Structure 1
Amino acid sequence: MSDPAPSLVHGTRRRLPHVTWCDLFEYRARRTPDRVCLVADEVAWTFRELDRWGDRLAQVLGDAGAVPGTVVACAMTRSVRAVLGVLATAKAGAAHLPIDPAQPAARVDAILTDACPAVVLTDVASLAARADVLLSVEDWRKELAGRDGPRLPRTAKGPAYLIYTSGSTGQPKGVLVGHRSLVNLYGELAGRFFPAGHGPQRVAHGLPLVFDASWNPLSWLAGGHELHLVPDSVRADPGSYVDFVREHRLSVVEAVPAQMSALLDAGLLDGPARPRLLLMGGEAIGQDLWSHLRGAAEVTAVNLYGPTECTVFTTSCGLGERATPSIGRPIGNTTAQVVDEDLRPVPIGEPGELLISGSCLALGYLGRPGLTADRFVTTGERGYRTGDRCRLMADGHLEWLGRLDDQVKIRGHRVEPGEVEQALLASPGVRQAAVRVEGAEPRLVAYVVLDTGTAARLRERLRALLPAYLLPSAVIPLDAMPLGPTGKIDRAALAPPVTVRRTVVLTSPQELVASAFRVQLEIPAVDADSDFFDLGGHSLSAAALAVRLRTLGVPCSLRDVLLRRTVARLAELVPTTTKGATPSWTTTT
């Protein structure tokens, strides 16, 4: 019988100063001007240097129209310029909007149209024609030299950043986050994670710059620690990432659980030069990873949970606190409550929707008052309906039980299948479309009824419209959609069509590679021309495939998987001694 007490738990209350993240950084720069604060592009930057260049870029942004209350869109490559963009935007008093310049042009245009930034800051020449107001800083040292001037006015009452998430209507939606909640996040990191009396730590920034979670390592920077920006080429290869951590003697590493697993497989905790603190968030942690890290010596691992609307992370749980996965307890100045569909508290131990309130809450959705009112509700105090199904246990820890809707995390990105459906339905020749999440490692599978065209051509069109994490791993054509009693598509009945079994003859080395494909991607059959990425592979699983093939005696690197995408091409790497005596294998699909 469940405890009748309501499922309510509070984080520690702290007094918040009326300052901005930028104020915190500038305070640190005054106290320790000559301390190294950022290592990027193979250059070590002191607080004084970064502060000065940030001031100069802020002057340029101000001249271009960035004032308090406006938005500065930063479409920057992964370099010191991206960090300067964050700092300079804050110094100008504007809200920072990160944009991945590698995204399809259509998505970049949609975000810029919705956000209406006063300035678009970029170091990518190809973006120059996509905005009315553009500021290029490709040759930034020359362009910013001599731009010293008085610091621009700013306030702690306005927005700090704007970040776009997947939208169920097919359009991305912007979440506007204020300085108060960002400073509250800093206070949590400073109070719980910044080491006391042990000097500055070396912190890895290996998160995508368009993630709201990238504010975690930036907060370590503002706290006086040394931030190391992990290059894109290193981030994509777990082995290279581990080498980077060792070479730079990094003590703090944050990653989504899937990437953390790949780093552990690559030897992150092998040997004495290991990180002291591992932070994970963005998706659920499995029991195997939880148990592995609980047993790791001299390492503290922490699970972080939080929707974008609650400023990066809202609850946290040290893996040493519980034997089974948990999202833990609320951070400071935050309350978590488990409620029913009428927002009434449910008893301890019973499942319900997680409702978050307190200083962590975002300001709302940009230009969407109706959606803001629907998700940010008032029940005594303002709260955010997360849509996450949780329960509060008797020990005060929250357990995450899944989504109440079909929104999922795929490789750390929050994804709503409805956005992919809208892109499919907007494509020529598509009569009907439905997208489901399938597989133990979540992947999107699209089902379509086509009037014209092919599934292969449709997927190629999506590649030009959607970022990689929104691309379906498979597009399956159907003669007709299964329908339920109301005439709506019966999503539970969706399944690949029954096909005629055909014999596929693979050579011995091809079968060795094909078996690795099947195990890694959890699919029943492949042939010689099967493309790993068209089947749903991504950078992390590609790195895992390379490791899997090496254990089978194949000298395969991540670069090989990226360049030799098919079974047949990768099979060319199989050594003669590994190929065996059997000339061919027979399989069926």
Structure 2
Amino acid sequence: MTEPVSSSVRGVARRLPRVTWCDLFEYRARRVPARVCLVADEVSWTFHELDLWGERLAQALRNAGAAPGTVVACAMTRSVRAVLGVLATAKAGAVHLAIDPALPAARVDTILADARPAVVLTDAVSLADRADVVLSTEDWMTELAGHTGHRSPSDVAGPAYLIYTSGSTGSPKGVLVGHRSLVNLYGELAARVFPASRGRQRVAHGLPLVFDASWNPLSWLAGGHELHLVPDPVRTDPGSYVDFVREHRLSVVEAVPAQMSALLEAGLLDGPARPRMLLMGGEAIGQDLWSHLRGAADVTAVNLYGPTECTVFTTSCDLGERATPSIGRPIGNTTAQVVDEELRPVPVGEPGELLISGSCLALGYFGRPELTADRFVTAGERRYRTGDRCRLAADGHLEWLGRLDDQVKIRGHRVEPGEVEQALLASPGVRQAAVRVEGAEPRLVAYVVLDTGTVARLRERLRAVLPSYLLPSAMIPLDAMPLGPTGKIDRAALAPPVPVRRAVVLTSTQKLVAAAFRVQLEIPAVDADSDFFDLGGHSLSAAALAARLRALGVPCSLRDVLLRRTVARLAELVPTTEKGVTP
């Protein structure tokens, strides 16, 4: 690592082999064909088996129209078939596009219309009518058994995958990432992370399959390690996730900081059977979590930072290197620079916008050359404008100070409030809309002026067109928007949401649950009919609520919160005696 000059710091120079991720996997399959590389749904798969079935699926994709450079949209459930979809797409020389089958149909339609895939692959019944290749959950091996063929050549300088993120204009935008960037990511993990974990590891894959960070565990797979695909019901429940880690003796766990905190509270590091490496990324780490992990014995914790446009992560920091949060230093073949508004370097210690250059950069935005030219500036060398406000400390570590725009990370998802505003304004009966990010734990709050309709109907409309992480936690109806001197909406004058207090007397059991709601959601008041999810709850906070209620003596599971939802329904679980509430 070179010493920082001015506000620029460079990662180590590393030779990039002219290969693809698929080449790396196939090399491993030839060397250790009988070694277990994946465990999914309690079934173990060797490198040879995964390679064989990947090639059979690749031939099915070729027969359906997949060719080198074309897009294959994979809308797969969380199973071995999802991993095979990634491998088969690569073997066909095509570009992988992951789509969450649980997305609203309108969202799927928008992505497919923009990506124009040559082939749509799915194992989800809900998407079977729009797919070219459909695998059943029970007989998929029989369906693929007759397919044989040879791998299509891949352009090592071409695209590897396409991923869609929130867009401020109202539609998601596709980021196209190349093979060389993906191999550079693998090289960083192989050089700095794999060795630190001491030998072959058992790695948890608990990340959403549509996250670009999903390529981290897939890189562990290509590196010869054993990947365990954490089932959906397990990965969303911290207690069940911790049990899974112990049962499978997993040594590496990666999660967004909010989920990692929940896992720690559930006992992730308690006892001898615990992971030895924790990787975190997707959102900022607070000082409490940072200090907690720094003090954990025999655990290596690493903070990973990087925009989607820079291939998963571009800087990293071992928490043991620093007492305060940092996004660290650049990975290999990568340069980070802090600049002013004119893109001129600022002095060390001064804040500015973070620019990234090097082998990590994506190829650009799919079908959007103007946006690519705007964000990937080419004065001198090609650099990506992250929009993140950072500073380079005297010790050569980068510190993240926030955003220069309205973009925010919510549970690891990149969110543009403007996209939510556009969805609101496109809804019937909405005259004006403004969306802000509020609260210590970032959440979206929408303010609307309605001509017709109700907030409840507007919520239902949004659920039909937006993924769950883009849904506002609160929706506040106003008679009129506050305006500034220029006539534009004065966002600073928008009042924080104040829950309506109803004249309802809570029972003793409801009071206990209502208090847990208020603490978990950081809101001043709820009533018996208050719905946890309408108030801004999500799967992670639901798991935390269940744990909070269990600590109070209430036998409550994550499933109970998901099904019961309201104070009144959850209060039915509170044990009582003739004298009142047991807890």
Q: The TM-score by the shorter chain falls in which range?
A: over 0.9
Corresponding residue number in structure 1 for 2:13: 13
Q: Deviations over 1:352-374 (max 9, x none)?
A: 00000000000000000000000
Question: Compared with structure 1, are the counterparts of its residues 556 and 502 closer, same or farther at alpha carbon in structure 2 (3 Å cutoff)?
Answer: closer
Partner of 1:48: 48
Aligned to 1:543: 543
Distance 1:499 1:228, change over 3 A: closer
Q: Is the 8 A contact 2:294 2:301 kept in 1?
A: yes
Alpha-carbon separation, structure 1, partners of 2:465 and 2:289 = 34
Structure 1 residues 511-530: aligned runs within 5 Å: 511-530=511-530
Would you say 1:360 and 2:360 are equivalent positions?
A: yes
Q: Return the alpha-carbon distance in structure 1 between the equivalents of residues 563 and 263 of structure 2.
A: 22
**Structure 2 Cα separation of the partners of residues 260 and 529 of structure 1:** 31
Deviation per CA, 1:505-549, whole angstroms, max 9, x where unpaired? 111111111010000000010000000001000111011001111
How many angstroms apart in 2 are the aligned matches of 1:501 and 1:222? 55
> Residue 500 and residue 470 in structure 1: after superposition, are their counterparts in 2 closer, same or farther (change >3 A)?
closer
Q: Structure 1 residue runs of 4+, over 6 Å off?
A: 497-500
* CA deviation profile, 1:111-143 (whole Å, cap 9, x unmatched): 000000000000112213335xx1111132011
| Offset of residue 500 of structure 1 | 7.9
Q: Pairwise mapping of residues 220-259 of structure 1 onto structure 2 (< 5 A)?
A: 220-259=220-259
Counterpart-to-counterpart distance in 2, 1:150 and 1:173: 33
Measured in 1, the distance between the counterparts of 2:572 and 2:24 equals 55
Alpha-carbon shift at residue 550 of structure 1 (Å): 1.2
Would you say the 8 A contact 2:257–2:280 is kept in 1?
yes
* Gap runs ≥5 in structure 2: none
Deviation readout 1:168-202 (Å, 9 max, x if unpaired): 00000000000000000000000011137943110
Q: Is the 8 A contact 2:501 2:526 kept in 1?
A: no
Change in 2 beyond 3 A, CA 1:224/1:571: same
Partner of 2:32: 32
Percent of matched pairs sharing the same residue: 87
CA distance, structure 2, for counterparts of residue 157 and residue 6 of structure 1:
32
Q: Distance in 2 between matches of 1:575 and 1:553?
A: 8
Aligned to 1:375: 375
* Correspondence 1:86 to 2:86: yes
**Could you give the per-residue CA deviations for residues 64-95 of structure 1, whole angstroms, max 9, x where no partner exists?**
11111100000000000000000000000001
C-alpha displacement at 1:502, in angstroms? 4.8
The equivalent residue for 2:151 is 151
The CA deviation at 1:155 is 2.0
Structure-2 separation of matches of 1:456 and 1:148 = 53
What TM-score do you get using the length of structure 1 for normalisation?
A: 0.96
**SS of 1:338 mapped into structure 2:** strand
Contact 2:509 2:581 in 1 (8 A): no
Q: Is the 8 A contact 2:574 2:581 kept in 1?
A: no
Tell me, in whole angstroms, the C-alpha distance in 2 between the residues paired with 1:151 and 1:170. 39
In structure 2, do the counterparts of structure 1 residues 145 and 317 end up closer, same or farther at CA, with 3 Å as the change threshold? Answer: same
| 1:396 equivalent in structure 2 | 396
Once the two structures are overlaid, the 10-residue window that deviates more, 306-315 or 139-148, is 139-148
Q: Which residue number in structure 1 is paired with residue 567 of structure 2?
A: 567
> Per the alignment, do residues 502 and 231 of structure 1 end up closer, same or farther by CA in structure 2, a change over 3 Å counting?
closer
SS in 2 for 1:301: strand
SS of residue in 2 equivalent to 1:347: coil
My pick for the range that moved more, 545-554 or 336-345, is 545-554
Name the counterpart of 2:301. Answer: 301
Q: Is the 8 A contact 1:408 1:416 kept in 2?
A: yes
The within-5 A match list for 1:77-476 is 77-130=77-130, 134-138=132-136, 139-195=139-195, 198-476=198-476
Distance in 1 (CA, whole Å) between partners of 2:581 and 2:187 is: 64
Q: Which runs of 5 or more residues in structure 1 are unaligned?
A: 583-589
- Residue 504 of structure 1, CA deviation: 2.8
Task: Give the length in aligned residue pairs.
Answer: 577
- Aligned residue identity for 1:549: L
CA contact (8 A) 2:68 2:152 kept: no
CA distance in structure 2 between the aligned counterparts of 1:87 and 1:71, rounded to whole angstroms? 14
**Normalized against structure 2, the TM-score is what?**
0.97
Give the Å deviation of 1:245.
0.3
CA contact (8 A) 2:197 2:276 kept: no
Letter in 2 for 1:312: V
Give the SS at the match of 2:121.
strand
Amino acid at match of 1:295: G
